[in-house]
Structure 1
Amino acid sequence: MKDLIGKAILDYQTKNAPEDIITETSLTEADSMSVAYLFRGYEDMPGIEQKALQLAKGKILDVGCGAGSHSLYLQEKGLDITAIDISENAVEACRLRGLQNVTVQDVMTLSDTIQYDTILLLMNGTGLCGKLNRVAGFLQKLKSLLTPNGQILIDSSDIIYMFDEDEDGGKWIPSNMEYYGELVFQVRYKGQQEDAFDWVYIDYNTLQNAAHANGLQCELVKEGEHYDYLARLTHLKL
């Protein structure tokens, strides 16, 4: 990976002529996003992100922290926050912003010798598992990092609205798609193109079923304005 999103984040932080990030998926045409959006303050965050930060407590792990905006807010509140991201550039930007406990780390290889009371996965946290058939392993890993009374706060969207309706009023989904929420993402920045990567949006019912199958309780905490939602996962009580 060329770490282009991380490069955009670091460019913005260091005032190195940042440009818009161009994203394109197997379902959508090219679209541009200002990297400034990743540096937004609490007041400018969507309601489901604000709610997640309100619920965060105890020892907190921010997975895929990006520019670190969520972690910085919690740090300023005096909470015990650890942030991780696979992007070296993003982590460097976080450090420059003043985030104290941030490291380059893939959550799937994170040691479970330390457990957390809150695990945050925001800005479509389900996307990190890539494909639906990887969600069991993904949830099992998160579960191993969770204290007995801990919580996983994760958001996603149901993108069924993006598909056309058929004659019967149902949605027409191409037969070659294993799950309609699975996309292939491509990112361009400053004339460079990132290697394509898998990304998945998981609808709430599917996430709930996967959570239960992996020993986790799933609660719908808040729904956003555009098919997005925040879920809270906890250990399933027998």
Structure 2
Amino acid sequence: MTTVQASTTYTGDAWGELLRDCHRAGVPEGRFYELCERDDGYISVYDAAGFFAGPQDWPGLDQWAYSKVTGRTLDVGVGAGRFALTLQENGADVVGLDVSEGAVEVCAERGLKSVVLGTVDDLGDDERFDSFLLLGKNLGLLESREEGPRLLSRLARVARPGATVIGTGVDPYRLSDPRHADYLERNRRQDRLSGQMRLRLRHGWLATDWFDYLFVSPAELEEMIAGTGWSLVDVEEEGSGYGVVLRLTGDTGAAATGSRA
């Protein structure tokens, strides 16, 4: 009889290690994959080469959102730098921001001039921006009904007058896979937004800590931004995905503590 020993998973920067491995191997297609595990056991897989893609290979919503960027820009959740580097190549003043040490290292190796390891709270007191990017479905970094307003309020505090948040996200009510329906219903029973996903990323022996990532409808997003100083001024929809532009127009007095982004 053969005994199979369960593998050991170590907590660490799985996201950063994935980007490092893919980058240092020359960004081959079909070799390195982002493995995203949801807390109900559902697993999605995405070719990591996509995180290095140039503008010609970006999804339509990312191209639409990128076209809205103006002025000095903060790319929140910069990853491998696909958006920030393109902006830099076109002469823009751009800063990348990520909590992953590996992601920051890859961005620096790829030539991004300014990249910060940490959260919005780790930016200098004198930093100010005209645009904030939450592309590649990074509206998910809003995390939850409670944490989203806190992140948006933090962004408002380092924003210049009239600044914009430009992001893409997923509307959970437009997901076609029936395997998501039970998960969305479970969230509602727990008084959470339907699309509040509890996830972790895995690569090799490594797994990140569990974190919240939010699939939020445009209507829910508009409710969430109330009191943060931002107003929804543009929406572009495509299937279950969409892009938005938020503009800084009002009071920024909402609470601003507790968010990881």
TM superposition score normalised by structure 1? 0.88
- The alignment status of 1:34 with 2:47, answered yes or no, reads yes
Residues 68-95 of structure 1 show CA distances to partners (whole Å, capped at 9, x for unaligned) of 0001111111111111111111111111
Structure 1 124/218 Cα, relative in aligned 2: closer, same or farther at 3 Å? same
Correspondence for 1:204 among 218, 230, 241: 218
Number of positions where the alignment pairs a residue of Structure 1 with one of Structure 2: 231
Query: What's the counterpart of residue 155 of structure 1?
Result: 168
Deviation at 1:205, TM superposition (A): 0.8
Correspondence for 2:110 among 97, 101, 120: 97
In 1, Cα distance between equivalents of 2:97 and 2:18? 18
Deviation at 1:111, TM superposition (A): 3.8
In 1, Cα distance between equivalents of 2:203 and 2:60? 28
Structure 1 192/237 Cα, relative in aligned 2: closer, same or farther at 3 Å? closer
Deviation at 1:119, TM superposition (A): 0.8
Residues 123-177 of structure 1 show CA distances to partners (whole Å, capped at 9, x for unaligned) of 222222322211221111111111112111122111123486xxxxxx9723135
Q: More displaced, 40-49 or 186-195?
A: 186-195
Q: Is the 8 A contact 2:236 2:244 kept in 1?
A: yes
Consecutive unaligned residues in structure 2, runs of 5 or more? 1-10, 252-261
In 2, Cα distance between equivalents of 1:222 and 1:236? 20
- Give me the identity figure in percent: 26
Residues 207-233 of structure 1 show CA distances to partners (whole Å, capped at 9, x for unaligned) of 112223322211233212x22111111
Correspondence for 1:229 among 209, 220, 242: 242
Structure 1 191/220 Cα, relative in aligned 2: closer, same or farther at 3 Å? same
Query: What's the counterpart of residue 173 of structure 1?
Result: 185
Corresponding residue SS for 2:136: coil
In 2, Cα distance between equivalents of 1:211 and 1:217? 7
Query: What's the counterpart of residue 234 of structure 2?
Result: 220
Correspondence for 1:11 among 17, 21, 44: 21
Query: What's the counterpart of residue 168 of structure 1?
Result: none
Paired AA for residue 144 in structure 1: R
Q: Is the 8 A contact 1:112 1:144 kept in 2?
A: no
Corresponding residue SS for 1:50: helix
Query: What's the counterpart of residue 204 of structure 2?
Result: 190
Residues 26-58 of structure 1 show CA distances to partners (whole Å, capped at 9, x for unaligned) of 366222222111011101111121122212111
Q: Is the 8 A contact 2:184 2:194 kept in 1?
A: no
In 1, Cα distance between equivalents of 2:85 and 2:148? 28
Corresponding residue SS for 2:185: coil
Consecutive unaligned residues in structure 1, runs of 5 or more? 165-170
Paired AA for residue 133 in structure 1: E
In 1, Cα distance between equivalents of 2:110 and 2:217? 34
Q: Where do 1:98-117 residues align within 5 Å? A: 98-117=111-130
